[in-house]
Amino acid sequence: MTKAPDKAATGITGFDDITGGGLPRGRTTLLVGGSGAGKTVLALQFLVQGARQTKEPGIFVAFEESPERILANASSFGWELEALMPKKLFIMNAQPLPGLVQSGDFDLGGMLAALKVQTKAMRAQRIVLDALDVVMALLPDLEARRREIYRLHDWLLAHQLTALITLKADAQGTSDFSPQALGFMQFMVDCNVVLNHGVVHGISQRSLRVQKYRGSSFDEDESSFVIGQRGLEVRPRLRETSAS
């Protein structure tokens, strides 16, 4: 009998119920959603709760937004991030430098070298790579993207980090990150979660669904969630709500 994967609790209300205890420990989870769907909020909350509840230091790698902007956006949730920084939470500015982008000489090697030093220094156990599609879109072709995905995946496994990667894509899978590369990434990871955000009859609706969880049972149905004063909270499943 295959042993169920060890899990890292996210501490996010309702989310650990859906996943049967949290995200796969020492493995990689992919979080996909459109702009404004809540990816960064969920990802940062995963690190904050890990640092506070389970004493697991974490690194947030920001490819799209600056650390200052991330802190400003998170200030309304009352997480007191500054109290965790830098020993329990470290936000790395990984926005590509314009000169490097224009030269076309770009890969993840330099970033991974810096991450290795930071991971060792703070004994990090969790990591978020936010908006990976931003840097993957800079690579010239699918072969280069696959090469860097392999490099990143192997590095995360070697360092036994519980990783969460966010990618921007709509419900149809349209993204700057090509459909082929997105499909390859979804195949590589152990867990795949999709966030949706839309407006129905003038009312904002957010939903979440776990599409894949290798080696584990999970709730396959769509669940609604809200982003409130304390962050992201998952509500009862949509089909249960509609039946009541």
Over residues 91-119, the pLDDT tens digits come to 999 988 766 555 556 788 889 999 999 99
- For 199, the domain range is 7-243
Residues 59 and 119: their CA atoms lie apart, in Å, by 8
Instruction: Determine the pLDDT at residue 171.
Output: 55
Specify the number of domains making up the chain: 1
Instruction: Determine the pLDDT at residue 242.
Output: 45
Domain-located, residue 147: yes
Instruction: Determine the pLDDT at residue 105.
Output: 63
Residue type present at position 33: G
Instruction: Determine the pLDDT at residue 66.
Output: 93
Residues 138 and 177: their CA atoms lie apart, in Å, by 9
> 142-158 and 179-188 are packed helices; what angle lies between their axes, rounded to 10 degrees?
20
Domain-located, residue 17: yes
CATH number of the domain that 75 lies in?
3.40.50.300
Instruction: Determine the pLDDT at residue 176.
Output: 57
Domain-located, residue 1: no
What phi-psi label fits residue 39: left (phi over 0), alpha (psi between -120 and 50 degrees) or beta? alpha
Domain-located, residue 2: no
- Residue among 111, 3, 10, 104 nearest 63 (CA): 111
Name the stretches of the chain with pLDDT < 70.
1-4, 98-105, 170-178, 236-244
Domain-located, residue 100: yes
Computed over every residue of the chain, the mean pLDDT equals: 87
Instruction: Determine the pLDDT at residue 244.
Output: 43
